Amino acid sequence: MQTRAPSPIDVEGLLAAVPEGVGAVCGRLSDHGRSAWVVGGSLRDLLLGRPVGDWDIATNARPEEVMRAFRRVVPTGLAHGTVTVLHAGSSYEVTTLRGEGAYGDGRRPDEVVFLDDIVEDLARRDFTINAMALDVTGGELVDPFDGRQDLACRLLRAVGRPADRFAEDGLRVLRAARFAATLECEIEAETLAAMATQSSLDTLRRVSVERVREEWLKAMHARRPSVAFQIMQRTRMLDLHCPELRATVGCEQNRWHAHDVWEHTMLCLDACSPDPVLRTAALLHDIAKPRTRAMSPKSQDFTFYNHELVGAQMADTILRRLKFSNEQRARVVELVRHHLVCYSPEWTDGAVRRWLRRVGPERIGELCELAIADSRAKGREAEQSIAAIEELMRRVSDIRRQGAALSRGDLAIDGDVLMRELGLGPSRLVGEILAELLELVTDDPSKNEPERLLDEARALLARRSSK
């Protein structure tokens, strides 16, 4: 852990980086005799010099006072003191300083009490790096829990007693794992220990799977998302939401791998570009290896027969459990199903075209990226595998540039033409003939011309009739 002290605060520089609209909202509240601060993740990212997405504003004005102070407001969360202010084409969440009672559902407080003291409000927040406030009109940084020091040291530390913070909100343990990855920081020892307690896990158990899924997807944007998932694994969080991954820990692989399935998965995860869905596929691509592992009598080594097919089924189950969208789930399942690219230079162009048809042209780019990441993560003889995949990508590019027929829709004739020219009615036979024609042009693209296809169709129909 780093121990350097934070540099002297440049309040003027911070204020200059605050958007005009945020300053205007805070200024209006000040004109009405109230104070306002930029707080939470927006201030943390501002101090880090990172882009700020949503600006969070806290005030000691009550919600009804905020609504009177502005012409256009939306009462988005009055019970919890939140009002959305619409100003100059932008929206800003303004939340009244508050204290909170018990968290009966492990996610939201049973009771909210509005406060006047910013320090009391900061004391209820999750981590010290999120428990700072910038007075935009007064030009003061409020930092009662040494959040700037922790930020400079890249240390994630709970505000106050960690067990209390995690008992209040079960999502906080997952947020800690995500912050460790996205902010590239270390979790303070007492905070990490509290994350792994049964009490914290019991509170996390009450959090909706939709929120769990969103934390997973946010973690996938990190340079090394494996940091978050390693922490989830060590603190037993994964056991709650994806116990299938636990079985990969210590699952030995064959001689082509230098790592067990879990460590291989983590390396593969990091080797993919920061597309959350692609990285979710990397997380689950070998999920079936523990179930399919067997010893081959011939090679005296482990095999994982059909692990990609079994894995696709398991991935579908897991993603349904976590309520991923249908589109996200379909992408991941297809990537897991086809991630094992067993290309050989001996493949004919027809074989490459058949592979393209099987995996789907729209998936080729991300599938090959996953396959290359998978190869890199093996730790042994990766160069040969990567070179083979890159050669396949070049051949695919050539074939696509030539306009190869990869689906029935790419054929030079369609079902209506077949029925008209061959005197057929609507039937399964028309689809079967189109399928056979597609096989023909897969082997010989030059046959994808209307007259040649019709001649082939007539010959196919004649052979069927003679049987």
Closest C-alpha among 77, 110, 111, 115 to residue 96: 115
Provide the pLDDT for residue 302.
Answer: 87
Residues 441, 372: one domain? no
| Residue 299: band (very low, low, confident or very high) from pLDDT cuts 50, 70, 90 | confident
Residues 271, 414: one domain? no
| Residue 1: band (very low, low, confident or very high) from pLDDT cuts 50, 70, 90 | very low
| 5 assigned to some structural domain | no
**3-state DSSP helix/strand/coil percent for the chain, to nearest 5?**
55, 10, 35
Domain with residue 135: its CATH number is 3.30.460.10
Report how far residue 370's alpha carbon sits from residue 260's, in angstroms, rounded to the nearest whole number: 18
Domain end residue (candidates: 114, 147, 180): 147
Domain end residue (candidates: 356, 381, 401): 401
| 2 assigned to some structural domain | no
| Total residue length of the chain | 467
Q: What is the mean pLDDT of residues 425-448?
A: 92
Which of 53-57, 193-197, 285-289 is predicted least confidently? 53-57
Domain with residue 332: its CATH number is 1.10.3210
Phi, then psi, of 28 in degrees rounded to 5: -65, -40
**CA distances (Å), 285 to each of 51, 121, 327, 368, 376, in order?**
32, 44, 17, 13, 14
Residues 276, 348: one domain? yes
| Residue 6: band (very low, low, confident or very high) from pLDDT cuts 50, 70, 90 | low
Report how far residue 446's alpha carbon sits from residue 449's, in angstroms, rounded to the nearest whole number: 7
Q: Considering Cα of 65, then 70, then 72, then 73, what sign does the dihedral take?
A: negative
Domain end residue (candidates: 401, 416, 442): 401
Residues 227, 291: one domain? no
Residues 253, 386: one domain? yes
| 250 assigned to some structural domain | yes
Residues 253, 384: one domain? yes
| 6 assigned to some structural domain | no
Enter the DSSP assignment of 55: P
Closest C-alpha among 69, 64, 68 to residue 79: 64
Q: Which residue has the tokens 């050989």?
A: 344
| 4 assigned to some structural domain | no
Residues 113, 225: one domain? no
Provide the pLDDT for residue 102.
Answer: 53
Q: Does pLDDT of 319 surpass 70?
A: yes
Residues 311, 390: one domain? yes
Is residue 293 helix, strand or coil? strand
* Interval 21-62: pLDDT, tens: 999 999 999 999 999 999 999 999 999 999 998 899 999 999
Enter the DSSP assignment of 208: -
| 343 assigned to some structural domain | yes
Q: pTM for the complete prediction? A: 0.89
Report how far residue 83's alpha carbon sits from residue 61's, in angstroms, rounded to the nearest whole number: 11
What is the β-pairing status of strands 56-59 and 82-87?
unpaired
Residues 70, 190: one domain? no
Report how far residue 135's alpha carbon sits from residue 125's, in angstroms, rounded to the nearest whole number: 18
| 325 assigned to some structural domain | yes
Residues 322, 451: one domain? no
| 432 assigned to some structural domain | yes
Q: What is the mean pLDDT of residues 160-181?
A: 96
* Interval 124-155: pLDDT, tens: 999 999 999 999 999 999 999 999 999 999 99
Domain ranges, residue 424 = 408-466
Report how far residue 157's alpha carbon sits from residue 159's, in angstroms, rounded to the nearest whole number: 7
Are 372 and 282 contacting, i.e. CB atoms less than 8 angstroms apart?
Answer: no
Residues 169, 232: one domain? yes
- Number of domains within the chain: 4
The helix-helix angle for 382-401 and 349-359 (nearest 10°) equals: 90
Q: Does pLDDT of 9 surpass 80?
A: no
Residues 142, 166: one domain? no
Domain with residue 195: its CATH number is 1.10.110.30
Q: Does pLDDT of 448 surpass 50?
A: yes
